[in-house]
């Protein structure tokens, strides 16, 4: 019953199509698969935040309040990305300490 509900492959017209969760057996593998998508997405979000902050900075025309807002956007983008990288490194460190090195990216 479980395999029917969570089927990750389908046979359609003689061709087998496999789903993204094929071969996942435990939580560590699932987290690794999700991180494969989230880390590049965070980089793209950082790029857009920096472009948005840079645009606001250029369009501020010397207005101190607009300059502060633009600088806050840029700073927030870098802080958020730094926290993401820091948390990833902590997970890697803990995975190495507890012998789970192969389960996490």
Beta strands in the chain (DSSP E): 9-12, 15-18
* pLDDT, position 96: 80
Task: Check residue 101 and give its pLDDT.
Answer: 62
- Name the token pair of 15: 């061709």
Report the pLDDT value the prediction gives residue 60, as an integer from 0 to 100: 92
Q: Could you tell me the residue ranges of all domains in the chain?
A: 25-97
User: Tens digit of pLDDT per residue, the chain (105 long)?
Assistant: 444 445 567 777 888 877 777 777 777 777 777 877 888 898 899 999 999 999 999 999 989 999 999 999 999 999 988 998 898 888 778 878 877 665 555
């Amino acid at each position: 019953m479980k395999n029917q509900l969570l089927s990750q492959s389908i046979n359609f017209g003689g061709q087998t199509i496999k789903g993204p969760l094929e071969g996942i057996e435990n939580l560590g593998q699932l987290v690794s698969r999700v991180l494969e998508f989230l880390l590049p997405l965070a980089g793209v979000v950082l790029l857009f935040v920096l472009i948005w902050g840079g645009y606001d900075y250029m369009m501020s025309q010397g207005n101190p309040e607009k300059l502060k807002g633009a600088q806050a956007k840029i700073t927030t983008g870098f802080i958020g990305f730094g926290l993401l990288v820091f948390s990833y490194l902590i997970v890697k460190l803990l995975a190495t300490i507890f012998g789970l090195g192969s389960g996490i990216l």
